[in-house]
Chains A and B, each alone.
Chain A
Amino acid sequence: MADSKTERGVKWEVRANDHYFHQSCRRKSFLCFRWGRYADNVVRSYKYTPLTFLPLNLYEQFQRVANLFFLLIVILQCVPIIATIPWYSTMLPLLFVLLVRGCKDLATDLGRRRSDGQINRRPCDILTPEGFKTVKWKDVRVGDILQVHKDQVIPADLLLLCSTEPHSLCYVETADIDGETNLKFRQALSVTHTELNGDSVKQNLAAFDGIVWCEKPNGNLHSFKGELHWKGERHLLDTDHLLLRGTVLRNTDIAYGLAIYTGSDSKILQNCGKLKLKNTQVEMLLNKTVLVILLFMITTALLLAVGAGLFEHRVSPKYDVVSVLQRDSSPAYLGFITFWGYIILLSPSMPMSLYITFEVIHMVHCLLIGWDIEMYWEDNNSPAQARTTTLNEELGQVGHLLSDKTGTLTQNRLLFRQCFIAGHIYGDMSKELKPLDLSWNRFSCGGLKFSDQRLVDKLRERSSPECQEFFTALALCHTVMSEWRDGLPHYQAASPDEEALVCAARELGWVFLSRTRETLTISEMGLTRNYQLLALLDFTSKRRRMSVLVRDPGGQLKLYCKGADIVVLERLQRDWPLQESTERALELFAQGCLRTLCVAVRSVPEALWTEWSRTLSQAGTSTGNQETVLEEIYDQMEKDLTLLGVTAIEDRLQEGVPETIATLRRAGLKVWVLTGDKTETAVNVGYACKLMDPDTILIQGEELRQLLESPSPDVHVMSKEPEVWITDRRAVKSKAALVISGPELAEMTKAPEWGAKFVALSDQCQSVLCCRVTPAQKAEVVEMVRKHSTSITMAIGDGANDVNMIKTAHIGVGLCGVEGSQAVQNADFALAQFRFLRRLLLVHGHWSYYRICILLRYFLYKTTAFALVHIWYSFYNGFSAQPMYESWFISLYTTLYTSLPIQCMGFFEQDVSTKSCLCWPEIYSIGQKEQLFNPLVLAITLLYSVYTSIILFFIPMGILQYSALDYQTLAVTVQTSVLLTMTVEVILHTKFWTKYSVAAVVFSLVAFFLSTLALHSTRLFTASPKDYFFLGASPNAYSTPEVWLTICLTTCIAVLPSITIRALGVVLTNPNKHKIHSSNKPVELKSWFQRGTLQRRSSYAVSQGKGFGKLITTGVGLPSTAPPQDRRVTADSLKKESPQGSLIEMNSGDVAC
């Protein structure tokens, strides 16, 4: 038995109501060790426990090379023989860095604990021997039986045992998992349904002792394999029996389920990738640079140590004053000691305080993002939020934006906006709508965004039979089910499009009331009529249309059909009237980015119906490819149609989406859309939000596969449109978009070289649309882009289905939308609206990148130039590791004297104004191309710092060697020159002088001179002569004109190249460029668009697979929606007519993706 289970891959055992069995195998953990089988239902996204915080946090912090290095330096400085400068000069900054970082980590982790706690404390009902008891989510164990009420979130992955609905159906909303808002239904096994349901459901459940054998926990949302062993029988289980954690129960009063996977074993949490520590590219380059500096430092120290050894060997023996000091040690040993001495002396070139400054700047930039009133959304009182504080500069470098569709680009509200009936277009697209007076309609529920009194008048006066027929068609031709609440019909549809149409018909007086298996009841302007449903020709993505064949109360047979324009128009009667105006209407709707459907009718003669129904029933019994056969039969019926009209539905975009995407595209970003939704919808939204130009060609399916299979994708894109390519190279390059679906993507990931090709190909296209992808696939796409291109990826989404990709991307942005807060919880940045992205990237991102790059360069420059002076001095002091500066200057230099001006620059600097950032998105490419911080720039910076250090030492040395000035005077001279040089340099970098910047510069200069004078004062010397032995050095030096002349000259020569390059830059650049700085033109985004020739698009995106059609025709789903008196009848009829076991097969089309 066990062997066969292993073969079938079902190794996960769940025993219902067996608490002790599961208790024994609970997963436990201690520190980082885990054992046990079943996880508890607790979400743990935090990292530290009180016990592990200190070691873990210190471990993490010392993973940073610089911190580890400075720890080493501190240790070295405590060894007296090599201590060239006192220990506190490194220890204090290091402690400060560790403390700040530790506090920050602790605060972040506490925040995570809080949000975890909120989730873990949610209530749910568990079956105990005393009946159902309300407990917290975290108490749910595998094997528990849970009771879930309507509109509750399901706390764990449950096996649906039964529900209060007939046939133990239940409806779930999976928006948090796949982003689709339409309802899906789940159904219990018939055996559990029949055995457990009844008046004593609690007792039945308590006595339930089935054993579930299923797969081990995995992240595949759309597959589940398992079997239920109960009462000696084996029943197969699949995804239809599973209620996933995170989904919401809808339209079902109570559902009972058996917990199978809990906590981290559940499908949704398996889909959430691990919490990854994100580092920016700039930081990685910085780390590499620090490593280079470290290597350089060690090499230099080594060479200097060799120098010291040689000096010891050659000079010292003759030089008794020194040789006695060395205590007869061997030159090699002295060289070794000197090596460590130089390591300490050169250690300031490692920019340790840079990391702390870096973090402070990041934090301030994050605050500024949160403070930006332009990114605050009043409707839900949410400002922008930076949750990860280390990624700011990467906001200025994003090359690929990968966006979710539902809830991110679109509001996920489909609105009936316009229609075309009998040569007239009704409804307008203006923003301000005058709501129609619909008080005459007692079924009106509101929510109609359609305004045209003419149509209402025509309908009420019954003066236009075409209009009446049109709405009759809308009220009849669908697979929607109705539910009565408060005396009003509410609709459940497989697709939001259908719902929008049926709702629109209801508002305008054609109310779909209810349906049974064979009838449809509608109210036409208050007049209730029953239509007999003869056949339902369901939707498939291939047919792109659906029809109903009904017998109206008058006994006439009518076929109502709706579908994509291309399919419907070619099935119309020949020479149909109004051809031209229809074409024009379709074009007009396409321009407004509306989704169109054509509605048509056909009167069917009785004879045709009889014959056709016979063919149909024959087909039903025939074997072979039933689908193709059915398609042909349907095709016979759907012809000679008469066009009734065209509907136009708006897939409401979020505010400002097209403008934002257009600006971002101008900024050089590649915007990809990754959605769980259908291809048609995605394409339509793509066009609507200016992701693609109206005349963009779509490359998809087989064509795409061919391109990818070919050795070089470039060639094929070119050869696609050879003439155009020659005339306008750039246009063609950007006039294509790739469309790929989830299954195709899965295939592609199997062939690894396709990923590179795909990304290379996408670089030449305007956009990429990935449709029907799972959350895990979204992450895979992000991963693919990360792997095959060098650019920074940003993922934006609002639902739990986007969590994975948000975590995978370099930067994840969560929208605090309606779909719950999971995306925000896992995001690096949280925004209220998609349109804020423009400001986040172009303004904050650009500024952050600019500021941080300048800051890093300046920092590296200032620390290395400072430390390198020691090297030059060592040639004149016998390689004895004699510091060039006073030790106080060494410890105060980075912390007090030079930190503020550069920090001010990091806070306030603006190379271009907000308006210019938004007006000229092209500026953004600086970051994408890494123009301000790349190896070349770094090399130049470091070379420049070498130059500066040479000047800083040799000029004062050259001048003072002729005078009787002592070491301390030279030290003061060089110190002052260093400080002035660095201050001038930061002044040159600053282009945006606020009062704070001025104050910071003044402060650091004043601080330097005052503290230097103070440190050289009598008071401090008398307190501790050995620490303040520079007594009188600076007053003496500063009263010598020679020193001032030297300082002035040194500073000027040191900054001369920098000034010259800037001056040459000014002279050489086009004067027009300056306008960017000063322009105050209002931001006009629209003017940039130029509508090209429009192509008509129509998409019938009614359903992702087959609709509810089969469910309706077999009548399974109906009872709950039909009026109460019908309930029993239908339920009975179902039992008779639906053959056993067919349910599973029937449903598969609806759920599988």
Chain B
Amino acid sequence: MKNEGEASEQPDNTAFTQQQLPAWQPILSAGIVIPGFLIIGLAFLGIGIGLFLTSQTIQVLEMDYTGVEKDSPCFQCTIQSVQNCTCEVTFSLSALFTGPVFFYYGLSNYFQNFRKYGVSKDYYQLTGDTQYFKSPRDVCFPYSHDSKNNPIVPCGAIANSMFNDTFELYQIINGTKKKVPLDGKGISWWTDFNIKYRNPSSVNGSFASAFDGTVKPINWPKAAYELDLTDPNNNGFLNQDFLVWMRRAALPQFRKLYRRITEGDYAGGLPAGNYSLTVHYNYPVLSFDGRKKLVFSNVSWMGGKNDFLGIAYLVVGSLCVVMSVVMLIVYAKFKFSDDDDA
């Protein structure tokens, strides 16, 4: 039957076609599995203990300054009619708060992660593209134009809702207030400051005229080019507070870095004593049951204070150890009964 002229259809005899590829077939046995579990468990326990202990050394000071309670210092600012309200929050430290100290503000019940809120910003506009100054993208609607149909810059809900409480920290030494210098440089992401956000180039040497024909966001007291008139590198879209705000939070309860305390007498931390914090209370949160917080914290290699992480590691580690013990018992029993059978 075999025809010489006909091409042979004999398949190739290679390891691949014959499914005989050399392969490693790990065969697990109790001798590997039980010690393996034990080792993993111990490793987790080790990491967990380390994390937990580190977390214990981190100091955190949290203060709610929303002013819900009548006796709280900022209660008077919650009344709508008061303009440019200032209130004073005092606290005292019994020991040195080791530096560098990070100064956060926190908001709760605030949905920065709401989808429509999140997309409501114009990346092109924020890269300083003046073309988008005149016609912001649709995603910004309804914060793209004001009632007179002037384009808003920066447009969108995120920018419009920028947090605008400001704080001043004083140490009270013998009744006098000594200002604690707050460092606002470099609190945003490097990529945000250097790439993602760009100011429009100045027109005729005037930065403000680049914004001609646009209006400030409705909720803003001043325009973007007036955010920091003292430092041109901190003005416009490159304002650090603006950048921090624009990087939206993942959860409805969040904190954002406000300042760092790294300078002068306080480079080593906040010494024990009494402090006073002046709050320029502008940002309304009570309408949606929100809360505003101030947080002082120092950090370690693993970040801020986080007991959850350490405890989770400890739990998983001990689970693994328990499992290995259980398996050992089961195996011993199983094996002996097996031997009995044999």
Interface residues of A, Cβ cutoff 8 Å to B: 84, 315, 318-322, 324-327, 341, 368, 370-374, 376, 378-383, 847, 876-878, 880-883, 908, 910, 914, 955, 957-971, 991-997, 1018, 1021-1022, 1025-1026, 1029, 1031-1032, 1035-1036, 1040-1042, 1045-1046, 1049, 1052-1053, 1056, 1060, 1062-1064, 1066-1068, 1070-1071, 1074, 1077-1078
Contacts and interface: CB of A to CB of B under 8 A. Distances in A.
Contact of B11 (A376, A960, A962): A376
A1023 to B, nearest CB: 12
A671 to B, nearest CB: 26
Interface in B1-38: 1-3, 6, 8-13, 17-30, 33-34, 36-37
A325 B250 contact: no
B91 interface: no
A373 B114 contact: no
Interface string B279-308: 000000001110000000000011111101
B316 interface: yes
B113 A877 contact: yes
Highest count of chain A CB atoms <10 Å: which of B19, B36, B112, B190: B19
A962 B9 contact: no
B161 interface: yes
Contacts of A971: 250
A140 B160 CA distance: 83
Highest count of chain B CB atoms <10 Å: which of A319, A959, A997: A319
B249 A379 contact: no
B342 to A, nearest CB: 10
Contacts of A327: 142
Nearest to A956: B250
Given A371-B11, A1064-B327, A1071 B114 contact: no
A880 B2 CA distance: 70
B9 A958 contact: no
Interface stretch (B173-181, B230-238, B254-262): B254-262
Given A877-B115, A1032-B191, A1049-B316, A910 B19 contact: yes
Interface of B: 1-3, 6, 8-13, 17-30, 33-34, 36-37, 40, 44, 47, 51, 104, 111-118, 120, 123-124, 127, 137, 142-143, 157, 160-161, 189-192, 195-196, 247-257, 287-289, 301-306, 308-309, 312-313, 316, 319-320, 323, 327, 330-331, 334, 338
B213 to A, nearest CB: 22
Nearest to A991: B25
B23 A322 contact: no
B247 A966 contact: yes
Contact of B306 (A876, A959, A1053): A959
User: 10 tightest CB-CB pairs across the interface, nearest first?
Assistant: A1032-B191, A1025-B123, A371-B17, A970-B250, A880-B115, A882-B115, A967-B250, A1042-B303, A319-B288, A993-B24
B10 A383 contact: yes
B120 A325 contact: yes
A1074 B47 CA distance: 36
B123 A319 contact: no
A1045 B302 CA distance: 9
Contacts of A325: 114, 116-117, 120, 142, 157
A1025 B198 CA distance: 12
Given A877-B113, A1021-B196, A964 B254 contact: yes
Contacts of A970: 250-251
B115 to A, nearest CB: 4
B116 A880 contact: yes
B78 to A, nearest CB: 15
Contact of B288 (A315, A1025, A1036): A315
Contacts of B24: 993
A315 B28 CA distance: 55
Nearest to B120: A325
A672 B34 CA distance: 49
Given A381-B8, A1036-B189, A1036-B191, A881 B115 contact: yes
B19 A966 contact: no
A880 B306 contact: no
B53 to A, nearest CB: 14
19 contacts: A84-B115, A321-B117, A321-B160, A373-B11, A374-B18, A877-B113, A877-B114, A878-B111, A878-B114, A881-B115, A882-B113, A882-B118, A966-B250, A993-B24, A1025-B124, A1029-B196, A1064-B327, A1067-B334, A1074-B27
B140 to A, nearest CB: 10
Contact of B316 (A379, A1026, A1052, A1068): A1052
Contacts of B257: 964
A957 B17 contact: no
Contacts of A322: 111, 114, 116-117, 157
A327 B116 CA distance: 11
A877 B306 contact: no
B2 A958 contact: no
B17 A959 contact: no
Given A962-B305, A964-B304, A1032 B195 contact: yes
B159 to A, nearest CB: 11
Contacts of B308: 958-959, 962
B303 A1067 contact: no
Contacts of B309: 959, 1042, 1045-1046, 1049
A1026 B113 contact: no
Contact of A1077 (B25, B253, B331): B25
Highest count of chain A CB atoms <10 Å: which of B12, B17, B36, B251: B251
Contacts of A1025: 123-124, 127, 196
B11 A1026 contact: no
B54 to A, nearest CB: 11
Nearest to A847: B19
Nearest to A1070: B338
B253 A372 contact: no
A1040 B303 CA distance: 8
A381 B287 CA distance: 84
Given A376-B11, A908-B23, A1066-B30, A1018 B157 contact: no
A1071 B306 CA distance: 45
A1060 B37 CA distance: 9
A378 B10 CA distance: 8
B11 A383 contact: yes
Contacts of B319: 1056
Given A322-B116, A965-B250, A1063-B37, A1056 B316 contact: yes
B76 to A, nearest CB: 22
B127 A1031 contact: no
Contact of B10 (A381, A961, A1046): A381
Given A908-B19, A1032-B191, A1067-B30, A1042 B306 contact: yes
Nearest to A1074: B27
Nearest to A328: B142
Contacts of A1060: 323
A1066 B28 contact: yes
B331 A1067 contact: yes
A114 to B, nearest CB: 17
A371 B18 contact: yes
A174 to B, nearest CB: 23
Nearest to B289: A318
A381 B3 contact: yes
Contacts of B330: 1064, 1067-1068
A639 B37 CA distance: 86
B7 to A, nearest CB: 9
Given A383-B10, A882-B118, A1067 B192 contact: no
A370 B17 CA distance: 9
B71 to A, nearest CB: 25
Given A993-B23, A1031-B196, A876 B252 contact: yes
A470 to B, nearest CB: 36
A1067 B9 contact: no
Contacts of B301: 1041
B284 to A, nearest CB: 9
Nearest to B306: A962
Contacts of B142: 324-325, 327
